[in-house]
Structure 1
Amino acid sequence: MPTPTWQKSSYCQEGEACVHISAAPASIARTIHLTESADPSEAVLTTTPAAFAALLQTLTRR
């Protein structure tokens, strides 16, 4: 399995205390990976695109 390519959240302040996201290619599996720092050896949450979209929708409601 290829190593994930992590992307830092656009809402991140200075430093590395941010949410990072990686999406697995559809040819492998449709999954989204989240980690709280630039170090992917820490805890990684894996979810589906639909569940991640629901989370984003909930978080962006005002």
Structure 2
Amino acid sequence: MSMSSKPNWRKSTRSGSNAGACVEVADNLPDRVLVRDSKDQSGPTLTFAPARWRGFLRSVKR
């Protein structure tokens, strides 16, 4: 994970042919994780503390 001041947006590798119907995550920032709708890249983003994001991912994987 590279730490920079500019978000490095990525999509899920499982989005497949639905590349326009998924969320994008930027987890390269030192103090926050950003989440946005891939169809509205200039729209709003959700911001999570890294520990909260990791907790969310753990819950989803269960």
Q: Same fold, TM exceeding 0.5? A: yes
- CA apart distance, 1:7: 0.5
- Using the alignment, how far apart are the partners of 1:7 and 1:39 within structure 2? 14
Alignment of 1:57 with 2:58, yes or no, is yes
Q: 1:22 aligns with which of 23, 26, 42?
A: 26
Matches within 5 A, 1:7-46: 7-14=10-17, 15-26=19-30, 30-37=31-38, 39-46=40-47
Where structure 2 has 5 or more consecutive residues not aligned to the other structure, the ranges are none
Q: 1:6 aligns with which of 4, 9, 14?
A: 9
Aligned length: 57
Q: Is the helix fraction higher in 1 or 2?
A: 2
TM-score by length of structure 2 reads 0.73
Runs of 4 or more consecutive aligned structure 1 residues displaced over 4 Å after TM superposition: none
Where structure 1 has 5 or more consecutive residues not aligned to the other structure, the ranges are none
Q: What percentage of residue pairs aligned between the two structures are identical?
A: 28
